[in-house]
Structure 1
Amino acid sequence: MHLAFASIINLYFIFYSFQKKEKIIFSTLNIITFAFSFFLILFVNTRLALFNALFGFGLIFFYEIIKKYNFRIVIGILVVLSISLTSIFYVYVQKNPYMKEKYYKVTFAHMDKVGKLDEIENPEAEVYNSFVTRLSIWKSAWELSLNNLPFGVGASDGKPELFKYFRQTNQKFLAKYDFPTHNQYIDYFLKFGILGVLIILMFFYNLAYLGFSTKSPIIISFFFLFFLSNITDDYLIRFDGIAFCGLWISIFGCYWLQRKRLSVNTS
């Protein structure tokens, strides 16, 4: 998540440096930093981080290039950017062939075993990091949440009740490793019921409002990145996620206030 956002920001700096016609040394440094940050995303090899980065690149390209330049320049920049990203991706995949297996085979393996992971022989080796394991956890957490409507199981009982439910439903693999929810939305639904879902949606609405009202591709990219990242993890109950989000929301909020004050003064 951090690397994806850093890579998105670095791409923005590249376009910004060319728009402002900064010295070639700064533009070159931005290009090198962007290439290195994108390489680190591939090195960490997190699927959602790569998707978030590419989605953010698209938003930056749309807001900073398509809306500001003519068709020929847009196509030229698109070709250069595509070649650069493809080259980095190709070189890394050649050095790390497991990446192809992970994305094409491991990720969506055994999808017919959702909620039935114990039927898989040696699930630790086959599906420990697979999407089917996450879906099985979400399925159990969802069922438990529905059983405890409308107010949930409580803030302190989310994990204990989920682990207990694994054992009650005889899901030995999940119970053995006590997997947490790994989904912020379902986690809040489990803990706080309907109110929890409303609260987290209001939280993300606030972040989306800051981005779309200022028409800032950076803020919009951050909104989508953090919104999607919380589907596969629960960052708002982790210190690193809270600090990361809190820092950037504070910065974005200040930027929104500056824009609003400037519009009032000029009107």
Structure 2
Amino acid sequence: MTISEKNFNKIFNGFLILIAIAMIFRKPCTLLIILFAVFNLIFIKKLNYSKQSLALILLIASPLVLEIIMFWNNDSFAKGLKSLEKYSSLLVFPLFILGNYQRIQFLKILRYYSVTTTIIMLFFFIRFIIYFPELIHKYINGIDLWEMGYEFSNSIGIHAPALNMHLAFVSICSLYFVFESFRLNEKWILRLSNIILFILSFFFVLFVNTRMALFNALIGFVLVFFGEVMRKYNLKKVLGTMAVLAITLGGVLFFFVQSNPYMKEKYSSVTFAHMDKIGKLDEIEHPEAKVFNSLVTRVSIWKSGWELAEKNLIFGVGASDGKPELVKYFKQTNQQFLAKYKFQTHNQFLDFLIKFGILGTLVVVLYIFTIGYLGLSLKSAIVFSFFFLFFTSNLTDDFLLRFDGIAFSGLWMAIFGSYWLQQKLLLIKSSQSF
């Protein structure tokens, strides 16, 4: 089968845009990944690898490689195979994206991804208002404000922290394109549309209202501001931009907090309540109502997880046995609340330590900090913001257990890696021309 280079590039980048947008919808995204793999297998002769791209492929696929190496340690062959299958996208993405790294249209993919995802969220938000008026009524009247973001995420079919991790990155990208529209001196209608899209994207982060995503979005805004604005503009423009950004973010935050007073409680007393009860949650009356999402619950889980990991530091307990062994340990240590709800580790570094031993934690560190290296090497605020977002998210959750974390990180790592290889190639060409 033959295809022109122009059409191949369009289809290839189109696949990446669609996969990025569909990442919050597991089944459609899985189908797109399969079609993407088939498409690249048909045109396999177009793949071209360098030593650097092969090294990046190995780094991105490292969690999958670890699963394969440690497969023998699973108690159940079927469960081990199921665990292994989750990481298949970490082979597909680096092989085919880095094999076509010169074709990647980095900023175009980011723009389509951020704009389309924001529009899709707007559609689901309007749908939520129409189909769940009783929840909106409760929200307006200040009743059960804590449940709103989770109910909205459930209406889409995704866990709230996972959805908000995606939305935080979308919001960071949207802010970048606001600055770009001013830098390129685009028409006022394009500037205004970029500002509106940014405000909408940030509103959805606030609406889903998970703590780490909001924190990461704000840090990402700071990184984009200092990385993209202070580096490219004079002091007068920097100060003006800072003032506009502060007023915009402050205004959105003010009006949202005014309509959602639970935010003040959630980010203060709720988060840090009962810290004297670490490992003793059953002493709290009705812990489900008081500390289900509090820091004390996370720390209690981490304490038990570390104690379990210490007993299996060399090889771990096995990929498919991490959660069952942790729940068993909750029961052995008479922690009924944690055992009842079968909590996962909520820390990816600790999760891999329990499953694979010391090697597991080393692989997670290598995997995540590769993104940080790419961001620093590229001097890209967006790439480094993604690293910070994914790193901190995995300190309080375990996104390399879920499709929306595995595929999400694998896709963007391969795209970032391709962009990094492009810049390396440009440097080589420019040095040869002198």
Verify same fold: TM over 0.5.
yes
Residue matched to 1:229: 393
Amino acid in the other structure paired with 2:384: I
Residue matched to 2:193: 29
Task: State which of 303, 307, 319 in structure 2 corresponds to 1:155.
Answer: 319
Residue matched to 1:18: 182
**Does 1:198 pair with 2:349?**
no
Q: Quick one: distance in 1 between partners of 2:253 and 2:371? A: 31
Cα distance, 1:23 vs structure 2:
1.4
- Contact between 2:271 and 2:295, CA under 8 Å: does it hold in 1? yes
More relative contact order in 1 or in 2 (CA 8 Å, sep 6+)? Answer: 2
Percent pairwise identity: 64
- Contact between 2:369 and 2:387, CA under 8 Å: does it hold in 1? no
Amino acid in the other structure paired with 1:26: L
Secondary structure of the 1:108 match is coil
Residue matched to 2:380: 216
Secondary structure of the 1:157 match is helix
Q: Quick one: distance in 1 between partners of 2:194 and 2:275? A: 42
Identify the range of structure 1 (161-170 vs 151-160) with the bigger mean alpha-carbon deviation.
151-160
Amino acid in the other structure paired with 2:263: M
Deviation track 1:178-197 (CA, whole Å, cap 9, x = no partner) reads: 11111110000111111111
Residue matched to 1:101: 265
Task: State which of 403, 413, 432 in structure 2 corresponds to 1:239.
Answer: 403
Deviation track 1:95-144 (CA, whole Å, cap 9, x = no partner) reads: 11111111111011001111110110111111011111111111100110
Cα distance, 1:68 vs structure 2:
2.0
The number of residues matched between the two structures is: 267
Find runs of 4+ consecutive structure 1 residues off by over 6 angstroms. none
Q: Quick one: distance in 1 between partners of 2:194 and 2:343? A: 40
Secondary structure of the 2:293 match is coil
Identify the range of structure 1 (62-71 vs 161-170) with the bigger mean alpha-carbon deviation.
62-71
Residue matched to 2:157: none
Residue matched to 2:343: 179
Amino acid in the other structure paired with 1:40: F
Give 1:240-259 correspondences, 5 Å limit.
240-259=404-423
Instruction: Name stretches of at least 5 consecutive residues in structure 1 with no aligned partner.
Output: none
Identify the range of structure 1 (78-87 vs 201-210) with the bigger mean alpha-carbon deviation.
201-210
Amino acid in the other structure paired with 1:102: K
Cα distance, 1:204 vs structure 2:
1.7
Q: Quick one: distance in 1 between partners of 2:167 and 2:359? A: 32
Scaled by the length of structure 2, what TM-score is found?
A: 0.61
Give 1:6-85 correspondences, 5 Å limit.
6-85=170-249
Secondary structure of the 1:156 match is helix
Q: Quick one: distance in 2 between partners of 1:200 and 1:74? A: 37
Q: Quick one: distance in 2 between partners of 1:205 and 1:178? A: 30
Cα distance, 1:205 vs structure 2:
2.4
Residue matched to 2:99: none
Amino acid in the other structure paired with 1:202: L
- Cα-Cα RMSD: 0.9
Identify the range of structure 1 (102-111 vs 198-207) with the bigger mean alpha-carbon deviation.
198-207
Cα distance, 1:154 vs structure 2:
1.2
Q: Quick one: distance in 2 between partners of 1:159 and 1:216? A: 37
